[in-house]
């Protein structure tokens, strides 16, 4: 039986059983309002939790206090870390790094590096967040580049797609690492012991694909290190297939993500128009209210908000910059669930197995 969560006061923020989320309050299109509203929404929706939960809120103290006066749960569970500096949404990563230290984004990541927080969340500039995260937390040993993993809806459950924008060009070694990172992430987030892993391609036939995809396929298929490798998958398998983790480069993954979002908005518009087209449509809409609401909830992209930077020595979650309180609460939820899991240890173990298998192949080739 789960014990009831006890939201901590700021003075208790260093307790060892407490899970602490470091938040860039000033990052996002509608920050700081949406950020504080997101914290309050998460706390309201998670009255039961396996750990106490608290927040380090990095940003302008006056603005944060004003918002906390209307968010009692967030106020009781938070400590304000004042700074007036923040990273603009349109700033180039190089400019953001020069401004860097002392901004709300930088300080949110620094809290994870210092061991003061278990994870960091920001809805701010993606390039700046990636650059600051990589500079401060560094890459895990054995990982060449970080990847952004996104959650994708399916008829039953969800799948993970990575990379969705961090790395435009990838070689087979990096794609193999993404497979390991994504598998560990899926296991930590959804609790499945052996998630299946697929490689995105233009077809499932052996002869199809570019040189990098083919080389990655052969490499994953040849190495025996416990990965449940399915093989090639196609674009339609992202939404309708049964493979849990789908690996691709950031160029293809980002295009797939934006195409999926656009298609969802288009279909949503079609459905809305059809349901309100005339008096009979409106009448039937009323009669089918609960079914329509269920469909709407399943299509709600806010409930899948929160992309994780995988491969770092710390947990950093990127929220969509234009999301609302519900979407931001979901990004915080992803950070919380990863903080409560053995995510980093699982990555370490599987990466070691991957590189041992690669070494075995190299030795065999030389003999």
β-pair type (18-24, 307-310): unpaired
pLDDT (tens digit, 9 = 90+) per residue, 102-124? 999 999 999 999 999 999 999 99
Helices (H), the chain: 33-45, 61-68, 72-76, 93-99, 104-113, 126-137, 172-190, 211-222, 237-240, 250-275, 279-287, 289-299, 325-339, 343-366
What is the average pLDDT across 329-344? 86
pLDDT (tens digit, 9 = 90+) per residue, 55-65? 999 999 999 99
CA-to-CA distance for 261 and 188, rounded, in angstroms? 25
Counting every residue written for the chain, the total comes to 367
In the prediction, which pLDDT does 51 show? Answer: 56
What is the average pLDDT across 208-216? 92
User: Residue 162: helix, strand or coil by DSSP?
Assistant: strand
User: Is residue 187 scored above 50 in pLDDT?
Assistant: yes
Q: How far is C-alpha 74 from the geometric centre of its chain's CA atoms?
A: 22
pTM score of the predicted model: 0.80
**What average pLDDT does the structure give for the chain?**
83
- Could you tell me the domains of the chain? 1-143+311-341 (3.40.718.10)
Q: Under 8 Å CB-to-CB from 244, ≥6 apart: which residues? A: 159, 160, 183, 186, 190, 192, 195, 196, 197
Range with the poorest average pLDDT among 5-9, 248-252, 303-307: 5-9
pLDDT (tens digit, 9 = 90+) per residue, 164-185? 888 888 999 899 989 988 998 8
- The two structure tokens encoding residue 62: 């006056």
């Amino acid at each position: 039986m789960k014990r009831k969560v006890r939201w901590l006061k700021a003075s208790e923020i260093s307790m060892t059983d407490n899970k602490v989320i470091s938040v860039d309050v000033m990052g996002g299109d509608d920050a700081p309002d949406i950020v504080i509203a997101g914290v309050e929404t998460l706390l309201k929706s998670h009255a039961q939790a396996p750990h106490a939960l608290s927040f380090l809120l990095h940003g302008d103290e006056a603005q944060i206090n004003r918002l906390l006066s209307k968010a009692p749960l967030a106020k009781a569970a938070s400590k304000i870390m004042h700074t007036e500096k923040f990273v603009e949404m349109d700033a180039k990563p190089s400019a953001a790094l020069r401004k860097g230290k002392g901004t709300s984004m930088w300080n949110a990541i620094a809290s994870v590096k210092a061991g003061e927080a278990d994870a960091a969340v920001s809805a701010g500039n993606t390039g700046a967040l990636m650059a600051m995260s990589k500079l401060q937390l560094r890459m895990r040993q054995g990982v060449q580049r970080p990847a952004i993993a996104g959650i994708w809806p399916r008829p039953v459950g969800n799948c993970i797609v990575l990379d969705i924008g961090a790395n435009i060009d990838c070689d087979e070694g990096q794609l193999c690492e993404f497979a390991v990172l994504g598998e560990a992430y899926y296991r930590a987030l959804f609790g499945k012991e052996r998630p299946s892993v697929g490689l995105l391609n233009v077809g499932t036939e052996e002869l199809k694909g570019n040189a990098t995809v083919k080389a990655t396929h052969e490499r994953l298929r040849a190495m025996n290190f416990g990965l449940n490798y399915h093989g090639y998958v196609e674009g339609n398998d992202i939404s309708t297939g049964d493979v849990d983790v789908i690996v691709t480069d950031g160029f293809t993954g980002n295009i797939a993500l934006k195409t999926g979002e656009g298609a969802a908005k288009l279909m949503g518009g079609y459905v809305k128009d059809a349901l309100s087209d005339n008096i009979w449509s409106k009448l039937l809409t009323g009669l089918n209210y609960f079914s329509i609401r269920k469909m709407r909830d399943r299509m709600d992209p806010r409930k899948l908000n929160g992309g994780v930077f995988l491969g770092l020595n710390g947990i950093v979650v990127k929220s969509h910059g234009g999301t609302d309180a519900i979407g931001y609460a979901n990004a915080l939820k992803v950070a919380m669930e990863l903080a409560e899991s053995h995510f980093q240890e699982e990555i370490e173990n599987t990466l070691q197995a991957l590189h041992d298998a690669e070494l075995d192949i190299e030795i065999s080739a030389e003999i």
